[in-house]
Every structure is written in structure tokens, then in C-alpha cells.
Amino acid sequence: MIDALKVLMTGYELDPFFKRGGLGDVMASLPKALVNIGIDVRVVVPYYQIIRSEIEEERIGQFFIHFGKGEEEVGIYKKYFPNTKIIAYFLSNKPNLSYINTRGRNKKIDQFAFFDLAVAHFIPWLSKNVSWKPQVIHCNDWQTSLIPLILKRKTSLSLPTLLTIHNLNYQGRGSLKVLDILHIKDEDTKEIKRGTPVTEINILGEGIIHASRVSTVSPSYAKEIVGSYNHSPIHYFLTRREKASLDSAQGKKDEVLGILNGIDYETWNPKIDNFIFHKYDQDNWEEGKKNNKEDLLKILFLDNKPTFCFIGRMAWQKGIDILIKALKRMKVSDFNLIFLGSGTPVIEKSVLRIAKNFPSNIKTIVAYDEEMAHKLYAGSDFIIIPSRYEPCGLIQMVAMKYGTLPIASKTGGLKDSISNGENGILFEKNSVPKLSKAIKEALTIYKSKEHLKTMIVNAMRKDFSWDKSAVLYKKLYEDILKSNSKDIPVKLNP
Ligand code: ADP
């Protein structure tokens, strides 16, 4: 029997241990889908203070790394994904890493440099102590994007890496001093210094250059990012990779590949969802949605009207300001709208203000509230997703499973997962009039019950499971492994 391909996946969120957005979902659900098709996956994530009490007793070992001026201890904790045999490792950090604000510019780069260095040292620990030798390292987003560089420059492991970009706008930019802390020598950093202002490192950019392959989370986003970042520092890194693909025998292999995310129907399924008021499925959705809506509106003191929701991070990307402008031009008394989210304080304030102006129709919940999110998916008629850009987006897929129709910007993964007029409404992104028109169209559909029913059934039937995408990742890993075995391994200073 051929041994299963071994993949170590790493990122900074992992549902249900800690999650603030879609990456947490993906880190939890993709490994399960990969295991189902015969890949041996384990996951390694940072050990945050927030989960300390949950995993304290699961410490299985430690090792030391040379970080900054001294030797630092890294504690290893282990836990299984709920109801599976998939192992998640948690690596402790010094200074203790707090799991907040990890997306902003210049934030936390030292802590994630520590984590990335720890992962590079954890790989030999794994093979020595538990006889598990990963063949591909799968990094996700900037927080783990130093790993390909560290593996090349600081270890003698010639391990291939895949970097998946879940959001190109979060790049982990900060002082180049982080390289001194990592003890990466000057002669090894030529690319870094040429790419950005001499005082700055762009961690995602380093990942883009040094990873064996780069992917992103939808085919449309993969196309959109080529050429649309001309004025951003990340442009240099993307074009270097593109140029390499033209120059090298690797050809298309160096291009950024788009693989659409899926969702986990063990988590997102109204038939088994314990958070919602009434469980339902495709056979009794009419009654199920009606009852869920009734109870949702009751707890929020709203009248029975067409009900829209917004769920997500309150960030510029999500286009909440566009929605607020659209609301100001509309007859808000015709419908309900519920906002659930947290993030940038000015956006939070603007959403609280609009709810104050229309207290009988608009409610705002400023919180990260898993249970309320489930209740909104089940009890709303429509979900509004006015994103300026959306690499993939999971909320539209979840909403569709719950029979809630998405009204979404025509961009990235939203475009790849919603069929306009069939199972949702797509509108030109960044346009206040187009968004108002789309909301009005939804209200018309709502009135014509038959049309609404057809669209809801279409939405609920759509298959967003990981099955197809997991196969694409498997192929990609195999491809990376094949190409790597032909390369001359880079062996540098340990
Ligand atoms: P992003 O990754 O850009 O934040 P996605 O649509 O890919 O957006 O994923 C968002 C995930 O986070 C979904 O699972 C959604 O239900 C969840 N989520 C976002 N905001 C909240 C919130 N305030 N409360 C509960 N869940 C939330």
C-alpha cells in the first residue's frame, strides 16, 4: 500500500478553537475533506491565551528556538478536531500571543515571526518524536507567510510549500528588524530589500516569492488580483512571480491558482443546527423558515416584514458604507434589516446610528456572536453582501444552505458561487444606485411568492461541499511534490 501524502497545514484561526472570519472555517473544514480523500493532514496553529484553559492539560512536549537575543521555549499542545481523528497542534509563543487585531498593518509581525520560526523547528520535532514527516507545508495568509523563507534560509529541510492567499489586502507589513530577530542574514535578504522600502518587510510578499506554489480562494479572485494591485507594494511580488512563470520552465505552474472554498455541512446545516429555533431541511423549509423568522423577529422586536441581514467583519472591504448610503435613499419602512458584526469603530458607530434612526426596522448587534449568526441565517429572507472585493466569501454559501437569498456584489468568489436571478442577486460592486435597485428587486421577488420559492429551492440545492475543491488541492499537493523532487534542494545555514 502506498503511504498517504502527508500535509502539515498552518494558519492563525481554527474553528471551533478561535475564529473571527472565513479562514477559521476553512482551516477546520478543508482538512476534514482532505482526510476523506486519503490525505494525511495535521494542523498547527498558535496557542492563544484565549484557549489556554481548554488545552492546558494537553501539553505533549517542547523545544527551543533562537529568537532575538535569547533561546525561547515553545510548548506543544495537542487536541483532536471535534468528532474526528485529525490532530491539531498548538504552539505557545513568547510574548503570549493575544488573538485580536491580527489583520491590521504592522500588527503583531514579531509574534507571527516567532510562530513561523517555531513551525519550521516543529517539523523536525514531529518526525523525531512522533514519526510523522510532512511532505508538503500548506501556509495560509500573511501570518504564516514567513515559513517558506525560513525553511529555505534557516533549515536544511528542502520541503515544498503552498501558500494560499485568503485576502491579499492583509500583508503583514512592518519593520525589517524582524529579520535580525530571526537571525536571517543580510546576504539572504536581497529580494526583501529590493521589493519594498528598505525599512519595511512585506511578509505576504515574501511568501509569494518563496513558496513553491501560490493559490487563492476563488478562480475570479485569482484573475482579479493580477493587474489590480498596480499601486500597491504587493504588486512587486506578484509580478516577480508572474515574470518567473514566463521565464521558467515551470510555465503556468508559477501562476496564482484559484480554488473555490467549500463549507462544512456538519457545521452549516439547518437540519442539525442546535443554535437555531427550529430545525428544517429541503423538505420542510417553508415551515422551518417561517417559524425561525417569527422567533427571530420576536426577540428583536421587529414586525413581520421582508427581512434582510448583514453578517460580517465591519471593515472597509465589506462595503457597509455603500449599504448605509443606499438605505438613506430608500423607503426603509418596507422591510427589516439586522446587522451583526464588529470591527472598525467608525463603521460600528455608523451602523448603530442608522439603527437609531429607524428603530422599528433596523437593528444592529455589535458583537461576534456565533449563535446569533446561525439564527440570522435561518430566520432572514435575504442576506446583503455589498463587499468592495471578496476573495471567496463563505456567508453567501451558508445563507443559501439555509434558504436565505444572497444579494451580493459581482466580485471574486461571490461571482463564482451565485447565479444571478437563479439563486441570488448580483449587482455591480461599489454602486449605491445598483445596490438600492437590487434591494428593490428582492422586495419584488418577495411579493411574487412562486418566484421566491423557486429561487430558495435552487439556493438550498446548490452543493458547496468541499468535495470538488479538495480534489483540486490534492492534485496541487501532488504536483508540488513532483516538481520539488526535480529541484535541487536549497540547503543553507541551519
Ligand atoms: P471573511 O473571512 O472576510 O471575514 P467570510 O464570508 O469568508 O468573510 O467568512 C465569515 C465567517 O465568519 C462566516 O462563518 C460568518 O458566519 C462568520 N462571522 C463573521 N462575522 C461574525 C459575527 N459578528 N458573529 C458571528 N459570526 C461571524
Evaluate: CB of 370 within 6 angstroms of ligand 1. Answer: yes
Q: Is 108 in the pocket of ligand 1 (CB under 6 A)?
A: no
315 C-alpha to center of ligand 1: Å? 12
| Tens digits of residue pLDDT in 329-354 | 999 989 999 999 999 999 999 999 99
Helix count (H) and strand count (E) of the chain? Answer: 18, 17
| Residue 194: band (very low, low, confident or very high) from pLDDT cuts 50, 70, 90 | low
* Mean pLDDT across 222-232: 80
Q: Are 268 and 401 in contact (CB under 8 A)?
A: yes
Q: Is the CB of 369 under 6 A from ligand 1?
A: yes
What average pLDDT does the structure give for the chain?
A: 89
| Residue 242: per-residue pLDDT | 63
Q: What secondary structure letter does DSSP report for 254?
A: G
Question: Residue with the nearest Cα to atom 2 of ligand 1?
Answer: 22
- Residue 327: per-residue pLDDT: 96
Tell me the one-letter amino acid at 79: K
* DSSP string for 268-325: S-TTT-TTSSS---TTSHHHHHHHHHHHHHHHTT--SS-EEEEES-BSGGGTHHHHHH
The reply to whether 6-262+468-486 and 285-463 are identical in fold is yes
Q: Which of 19-33, 126-140, 191-205, 317-331 has the lowest mean pLDDT?
A: 191-205
Residue 487 pLDDT exceeds 80: no
Angstrom distance (rounded) from CA 282 to CA 365: 29
Phi/psi for 106 (5° steps) reads: 65, 0
User: Which residue out of 394, 404, 414, 464 has the highest number of ligand 1 atoms within 8 Å of its CB and is therefore the one to mutate?
Assistant: 394
Give the ligand 1 atom nearest the CA of 25.
14
Mean pLDDT check: name the lowest of 75-84, 279-288, 373-382, 471-480: 75-84
Task: For residues 270 and 374, give the distance between their C-alpha atoms in angstroms, rounded to a whole number.
Answer: 9
3-state DSSP call for residue 159? coil
Average pLDDT on 87-100 reads: 75
66 strand-pairing partners:
71
Query: What cell numbers appear for 375 in the block?
Result: 439564527
Residues 389 and 413: their CA atoms lie apart, in Å, by 9
Ligand 1 center to residue 156 CA distance, Å?
39
pLDDT computed for residue 173 by the predictor: 86
**pLDDT score of 250 more than 60:** no
- Measured CA to CA, the distance from residue 220 to residue 411 in angstroms comes to 7
What does the pLDDT average to over 120-132? 96
Sorted by where each begins, the domain ranges of the chain are 6-262+468-486, 285-463
* 235 three-class SS: helix
> Can you tell me which atom of ligand 1 is nearest the CA of 15?
14
Full-model pTM: 0.92
Q: Give the pLDDT band (50/70/90) at residue 455.
A: very high
Which residues touch 228 (CB under 8 Å, ≥6 apart)?
Answer: none
Strand runs (DSSP E) across 47-120, as ranges? Answer: 59-67, 70-80, 87-91
Is 320's C-beta closer than 6 angstroms to any atom of ligand 1?
no
Which residue stretches of 393-431 are H helix? 395-401, 412-417
Residue located nearest, by CA, to atom 4 of ligand 1: 21
Q: Tell me: the pLDDT tens digits for 275-305?
A: 999 999 999 999 999 999 999 999 999 999 9
Top pLDDT among 111 and 419 is at 419
Q: Following DSSP, what letter does each residue of 144-156 receive, concatenated?
A: GTTHHHHHHHH-S
pLDDT in tens, 127-179: 999 999 999 999 999 999 999 999 988 888 889 999 999 999 999 888 888 88
Shortest CA distance to 137 belongs to which of 3, 2, 5?
5
Mean pLDDT of 212-228: 91
Nearest residue (by CA) to ligand 1, atom 19, is 312
Q: What is the pLDDT of residue 186?
A: 64
Residue 189 pLDDT grade (very low, low, confident, very high; cuts 50, 70, 90): low
Asked if the model's pLDDT at residue 489 lies above 70, the reply is no
Distance 312 CA to ligand 1 centre (A): 5
Ligand 1 in contact with 311 (CB < 6 A)? Answer: yes
CATH topology of domain 6-262+468-486: Rossmann fold (3.40.50)
The best mutation among 12, 15, 25 to test binding of ligand 1, ranked by most ligand atoms within 8 Å of the C-beta, falls on: 25
Ligand 1 atom nearest the C-alpha of 166 is 2
Give the residue-averaged pLDDT of 53-61.
Answer: 81
Query: Is residue 102 pLDDT above 60, yes or no?
Result: no
Q: Provide the sign of the torsion angle of the four alpha carbons 443, 449, 455, 461, taken in this order.
A: positive
What class is the 285-463 domain? Answer: alpha beta
Of all protein residues, the one whose alpha carbon is nearest to atom 20 of ligand 1 is 312
Helix axes 109-130 and 147-154, enclosed angle (nearest 10): 60
Per-residue confidence (pLDDT) for residue 108, from 0 to 100: 75
